[in-house]
Structure 1
Amino acid sequence: MCTGKCSYCIAVSLYPLVLISIICNIVLFFPGGDVKYAKDGHITEEVKYMGGLVGGGLMVVISGIYIQTTGGQGCCGNRFGMFLSIILAAVGVTGGLYSFIVAVLGLSNGPLCKVKGTWTTPFKDSNLTYLTNHKSWQECSEPKNVVQFNIGLFTTLLATSIVQMLLCAIQMINGFFGCLLGTCNKKEQS
């Protein structure tokens, strides 16, 4: 496969992942679908780090746009363009890594919730055992179903960021071959 076509395919694959990351991060601001928790500052700390918006969203979409222009119409343009795609794919890997780290922290610390009238993070020191201990989820009285809410969205961010890092790493290798071997422009036949 031509390095330009590969770049184009990678970029097109990144866009839905960026959208998923951004949506997950925005939804995390509204546990239980209610605005009052965000207004009162009762949201999980890791949500405020905006891993899905900044890392898996903005940083990866910038990479994707450049990678797509590099692979436009199936041709790579030039070797310098492929070299720049390596650098911008590294930005995408960094963004995906940031999103991954925030998601891991969100899962390991657990949600902020009301326990016996006090806002706390009850699962912070549980070593992830709360993930399989469904009975412990009942400790959180408010917001309703916040544990399932956080687990679902942070797990989605985790999976999305892994795929983003993988695609951007593949583009780094693809860009390296594009720099080394040149573009795949077909000679026009008369």
Structure 2
Amino acid sequence: MCTGGCAKCLGTTLIPLAVLCTLANILLFFPGGKVVENNVHITNEVWYFGGILGSGVLMIFPALVFLGLKNNDCCGCCGNESCGKRFAMFSSIIFAAVGVLGAGYCFVLSAVALNRGPKCYNGTEWTYPFQDGNYLANHTLWNACQSPENIVPWNLTLFSLLLVMSGIQVVLCGIQVVNGLLGTICGDCQCCGCCGGDGTV
């Protein structure tokens, strides 16, 4: 597969992941699937928009760049030092780095949120009743959260999804860094010996 084709495959995978991360972050604004009366009762990490900005908006730019690389004239660039194909592959490395930063931001936020636990009403006040992820292995502690209903499994599920999906995004963008380096050094097709003389893969 040419490096441009590989980049297109990565871009195609990143877009649905970005959409899912955005949706997961939006759902976190509705603890337990319900609208809260006071926004200060929402877990703080939700307001940092890890899924919306980090793994969502910032991931769209790399994905679109990766998708566009395949549209360049693959075999017309081989052997031509002035061709923009190598520069396009080099620029994709920069966008891949942006993707790594965005997804990494979401990954760290999700890990912190999972370790800290959700903000909830414990019968006396709105607080964070869990410490150092102790609730993850002990479900009986979940009873400490009286409101919103089902807030613990709700946050646990959505932040876990964000953690996994942002981790996948980091890996995919990391692959494009390597792929972009190969494309910059070798070119896209014939220069690496993956295309025939007629430009076919």
Shift of 1:17: 0.7
For 2:139 and 2:110, locate their aligned partners in 1 and report how far apart those are by CA, in whole Å.
20
Segments of 4+ moved more than 3 angstroms: 73-77, 185-189
1:87-111 deviation line (CA, Å, top 9, x unaligned): 0000001111000011011101100
Q: How does 1:29-178 map to 2 (within 5 A)?
A: 29-37=29-37, 39-72=38-71, 75=74, 78-123=85-130, 126-178=131-183
Structure (1/2) with the larger helix percentage = 1
Structure 1: runs of 5+ lacking an equivalent:
none
1:128-175 deviation line (CA, Å, top 9, x unaligned): 121111110011000001000010000000000110000000001000
Identity of aligned residues (%): 42
Please tell me the residue identity of whatever aligns with 1:154: F
Shift of 1:127: 1.9
Shift of 1:73: 7.1
Preserved CA contact (<8 Å) 1:4 1:74: no
Shift of 1:85: 0.2
Shift of 1:69: 0.5
Shift of 1:9: 0.3
Structure 2 length-normalised TM: 0.87
Could you say which residue in structure 2 is the equivalent of 1:3?
Answer: 3
SS in 2 for 1:36: coil
For 2:28 and 2:62, locate their aligned partners in 1 and report how far apart those are by CA, in whole Å.
24
Q: How does 1:6-17 map to 2 (within 5 A)?
A: 6-17=6-17
1:27-82 deviation line (CA, Å, top 9, x unaligned): 00001222224x44210000000100000001111110111111237949600000
Please tell me the residue identity of whatever aligns with 1:106: A
Alignment root-mean-square deviation, CA? 1.7
Please tell me the residue identity of whatever aligns with 1:82: M
Structure 1 length-normalised TM: 0.92
